Structure 1
Amino acid sequence: MDIKLSFKAMVNKKKGKVLFVEVDSSIADVLLSFLTLPLGTIVRILKEHYEDDESTSYGSLSSLYNGLSNLDGHHFWTKGAKSILLHPRRSSSDAECIKLMLDVSDSPPLEYYICPNKCNNRFQITSMYYDNAGKCRCCNRHRMKREVAENDAQIVPCCDGVFTKTTASFVITDDLQIMPNAGLLQIVSVLGVTDMDEVETINITFGLFEVVELLEASLISTNPLSVVILDEEVLEMSSTEGKYEDQSPSTAANALISNSKTMNVKLVVQKSTNKLLYAEAEEDFVEFLFSFLVIPLGGVVSLLSRNSNLKPIDSLYKSAADLIHDKYLKNPDAKNRLIKPSIPHGYLSENHILPLNEERFLADLACNYYSLFPSTKFPNGQGSYLEGTRTYKVADDLTVTPFSIASVLYSLKEQKIPVSDLREVEVQIGLNEALSILKASLTSTTALSVALLS
């Protein structure tokens, strides 16, 4: 079904700028849903949209995703481990976001495995993961049977609203700041519009294609609406690509940083230029990098204290957190799903370092209680994606490959860099450094240098 959504835009064509658009709740919900998308899903959506155009990259996320995709399956405990990283779910938002009039994500309905035998009158074992099709731990006889969750099946776009109430209307600025449509003078005051002589109203129609274009524009420009609606030149973000700095330091935050786990990484730097060539790291650091791909965009902004260097995304987050008051939201949980999204159950490995919350999976279907059956991806409930103890080469743009002395020497020869011009720098990665790498990965193709050497 080819759905189109229509709205009005106020534009200054002489200056090539969209001042604002007036929309109903269905379009506001579509834009807010960007915050629920995991970074890996965003990269995959845009790769498919632009048909793997190698000239298009989004910070170091594209190269991180491509490196993971090219990494041989024998590096992972199971096929499902790699698949989860390449095709992450949106956690509890998935079921609601399927109701969006235009949903850029192609997440399938939630499926789970269940023992066909009612092993206990009260408890039954279920699993969200396809790799968990072994024998039921309860009766140890029957193999788990695939089902589709009743509460997620057959959901189609509807007029019920997703995050905002269907009766609400909103104004969205060029940098994706969303405000309730509360009156002319308030909007004019916020936008600073005084001369209306050059302003005109145009009718706009958006389909799924335009929404994907807007998603990309929000990652690379400060004027995404003007880029998509008026086909204007991208105004690139002036990035402060420095280290992560907590904008609101607190005793609790400082304690969290001081008590967080650490990882050791060896940086190989060219002496004569002080340029980072690559890093040598073990599986804990590589799993930490891969964990970026499962974090929802709203979770990223929250981790980075609302300063991700992606101005439109920060504006969306501010809209959900501060500008759209509770009376305009569908229910009290809507805001938390946008600004404090959880990671789906089973997605966090024991090597995660960022303060992320993992969702509990407790199904309550057909008046029965279902206990959690962990995925065999993590045999002991929580474990590792990557199998064994290996050393990996991590490029400055976060491309991960198995470490090989022969390939490194060949690369140095190609670049005409003698081994005598190399030095090693031992770096300990704690929470502050981890957040710096995450922040740099969003906008820079030299994420390690920006985060660790700047």
Structure 2
Amino acid sequence: MAEKKAALNEDLENVITLKALVDMGNNKVIFVESDGDFIDVIFSFLTMPMGRIVRLACKSSVPVEIGCMRNLYQSIAQFNVHKFRSVACGLMLLLPCNAADCQCKNLKLKIDKDVPTRYLLCSDGCFLSYYRDIRCPSCGSLFSRGTDFPVDNTQVGGVFVKGQPRLIITDDLQVISPVSALSICLFSKLGVTDSKFTEELTFNMGVQEALNLLMHSFVSKTPLTEILLKNEQIPSLGDVHSSQGISIHSQMHGDTIDEEEKNISLKLVVSKSKKIVCYAEAQEDFFNLLCSFLTLPLGFILEKMQNVSWKGCLGQLYKSVEDFDEQYLKSNFHKELLVNPKLAPGFRYEKTLLGIEETSFYYVKSKLTTDKSCIPDNTSAESVKLNVVDPKSHEDRDESAQGFLKGPATFTVTDNLVVRPLSLILEMSVLQELKVPFTDIEDHIVHVGKREALLLLVASFVGDSALTNTFIRGLGEPKQEQ
């Protein structure tokens, strides 16, 4: 087997070296070998909030559409700041904080480093804020003193992976230990029958390539081939078909969650002949739910759709972490950061339909951490826990207010999640674009509980007909309010 070297267009001072076994006949990466630095980078994808991923996608040279998420992101970006409960609310959605930031600051390749999260302590050190020039609710001082974000002592020897193991990553981002690879006859499983047609190439992966790898992983089963061998034709994510919507409904992991009162309602305008949702009219509580999608870490979404068929391969990455041999991970805490990621403190929408929790910050020996194992045995967690000022309520004196938006307000929401304050012009243009006459539409009132919220999240992620796939193809025909 011949060996060649290949270099990507990247500053060699900040790269990770990958050894790839390449099928030269088909111009395809079979798998790569790398140490823990690369594994940490791809595992970190699972911790990234969707708002930051979509922001990177908007700036990237790789034109990837992630379902309806870009439309939702751009709708929020265009909103008048006065529509939000505080100035911070818009920043929370467009640049949400990563609850695993303590760990991800130590990655060798940081694909999301342009606008790092800031951490500010009040003068008494009793409250933490992400944003400047607001007053501490306890001591009344302005948050203006930024803390240098520390590296806690759990960071020695890697970020998520212990030490520097040599692991195998397949083209569709399955991560396999060498021992497991031998036991499952990896070569034959991956279609390698003759070593004469394979070559070993060495690549240097930098920040831009790592970012492109993430973007390709949303829409391709072969992202390593496309990035390393420059086969970069980007497939379109497209829309899920009708049968796919039923698949989301019947297979979605976690669909046995107990129902709670469905207290979010919206009016759907449906085409009777096409059986699609043309648009919806909704109150601020529904839009708040949509906004919260951008605060969610990628791993949380993937956990909810493990059995959903879609074009990307990030589900393979998630499953690899879930099944990963614990001897290679630093601790169960680090595994939980990836397979059961939480929100940064202060980012949870109060109507907890999605069932995600917030993490907690602890201030131990002048270091900020989310890892309880850093707390000395003779110290209680509560005594070092830092309270976080709710960013959503900085300028809102209404103690009963919830979410990111001021109310009452009504919005027009299209099937692909373009959102505007109630707009008859937008509604007319949607009907014209869909070629749906007035005689073909009817109104339906639907209600959203936990089940519908999770279905809507998945539908928003995998296709561009989120409302249709949630309320018609996923749940059956919408029931009209009597």
Decide: shared fold, TM above 0.5: yes
SS at match of 2:363: coil
Q: Could you say which residue in structure 2 is the equivalent of 1:267?
A: 268
Moved more, 309-318 or 295-304: 309-318
Q: Does 1:423 align with 2:442?
A: yes
Matched-pair contact (CA < 8 Å) for 1:396–1:448:
yes
Q: Does 1:146 align with 2:145?
A: yes
Cα distance change, pair 345–145 in 1 and its aligned pair in 2 (3 A) = same
Alignment-mate amino acid for residue 337 of structure 1: L
Partners in 1 of 2:361 and 2:113 — Cα distance? 21
Aligned to 1:387: 406
Which residue is 1:104 aligned to?
111
> Residues 237 and 331 of structure 1: is their aligned pair in 2 closer, same or farther, counting only changes over 3 Å?
same
- Whether the 8 Å contact between 1:89 and 1:107 is mirrored in structure 2 is no
Distance 2:64 2:457 in 1: 19
Counterpart residue number, 1:229: 228
> 1:173-206: per-residue Cα shift (whole Å, max 9, x none)?
1110001122763333543533323222122121
Superposed displacement of residue 218, structure 1: 0.3
- Paired residue type of 1:404: S
Task: Return 67-76 or 376-385, whichever deviates more.
Answer: 376-385
Give the SS at the match of 1:6.
strand
Work out the CA distance in 2 between the residues paired with 1:68 and 1:404: 15
Aligned equivalents of 1:248, 1:49: Cα separation in 2: 30
Supply the RMSD in Å over aligned alpha carbons.
Answer: 3.0
- Is the aligned partner of 1:401 residue 2:420? yes
Q: Which amino acid aligns with 1:282?
A: Q
* Distance of 2:386 and 2:53 partners within structure 1: 32
> Which residue in the other structure is 2:479 paired with?
none
Q: 3-state SS of the aligned residue for 2:446?
A: strand
Aligned equivalents of 1:26 and 1:382: distance in 2? 44
CA distance in 2, matches of 1:442, 1:272: 26
How far the C-alpha of 1:418 sits from its partner, in A, is 4.0
- Alpha-carbon offset, residue 150 of structure 1: 4.9
1:241 is aligned to 2:244: yes
1:301 aligns with 2:302: yes
C-alpha deviations, 1:116-158, integer Å up to 9, x for none? Answer: 2x4xxxxx42122316622x44344x434322145259x9xx9
TM-score normalised to structure 1 length:
0.86
Mapped pair 1:168 → 2:169: no
1:11 aligns with 2:37: no
Q: Distance in 2 between matches of 1:178 and 1:219?
A: 17
| Distance change >3 Å, CA 414–CA 228, structure 1 → 2 | closer
CA–CA distance in 2 between the matches of 1:247 and 1:220? 21
Match of 1:374 among 389, 411, 415: 389
| Structure 1 counterpart of 2:477 | none
Deviation at 1:9, TM superposition (A): 1.0
- What is the match of residue 95 of structure 2? 87
What pairs up with 1:271-282 in 2 under 5 angstroms? 271-282=272-283
**1:422 Cα deviation from its structure 2 partner:** 1.9
The equivalent of 2:86 in structure 1 is 78
What is the distance in 1 between the residues matched to 2:89 and 2:272? Answer: 38
Pick which of 427-436 and 206-215 moved more: 427-436
Residue ranges of structure 1 left out of the alignment (5+ in a row): 119-123
- Equivalents in 2 of 1:260, 1:36: separation in Å? 30
Partner of 1:121: none
Look up the equivalent residue of 1:377 and give its one-letter code: K
Name the CA shift for 1:222/1:4 in 2 (closer, same or farther; >3 Å).
Answer: same
For residue 201 of structure 1, give the secondary structure of its aligned residue in structure 2: strand
Aligned counterparts of 1:249 and 1:342: Cα–Cα separation in 2 = 18
Aligned to 1:195: 194
Cα distance, 1:43 vs structure 2 = 0.9
Question: Tell me, what secondary structure is at the counterpart of 1:294?
Answer: coil
**Residue 328 of structure 1 pairs with residue 335 of structure 2:** no
TM-score, structure 2 as length reference:
0.82
Question: How much identity, in percent, do the aligned residues show?
Answer: 30
Q: 2 CA distance for matches of 1:237 and 1:268?
A: 26
1:115 aligns to 2:122 (yes or no): yes
Alpha-carbon displacement from aligned partner over 1:381-429 (angstroms, at most 9, x marks no partner):
9832100111111111111111123443465467665433321122222
Match of 2:373 in 1: none
Q: Structure 1 counterpart of 2:204, which letter? A: T
Contact kept in structure 2, 1:276 and 1:396, CA below 8 Å: yes
- Deviation for aligned residue 1:321: 0.8
Q: What residue is the counterpart of 2:5 in the other structure?
A: none
Distance in 2 (alpha carbons) for counterparts of 1:271 and 1:44: 36
Q: Are 2:121 and 2:147, in contact at CA under 8 Å, matched by a contact in 1?
A: no
Give the direction of change, closer, same or farther, for the CA distance of 1:404–1:329 in structure 2 (3 Å limit): same
Kindly provide the amino acid, as one letter, of the partner of residue 214 in structure 2.
Answer: L
2:50 touches 2:295 (CA, 8 Å); kept in 1?
A: yes
C-alpha distance 354-235 of structure 1, shift in aligned 2 (>3 A): same
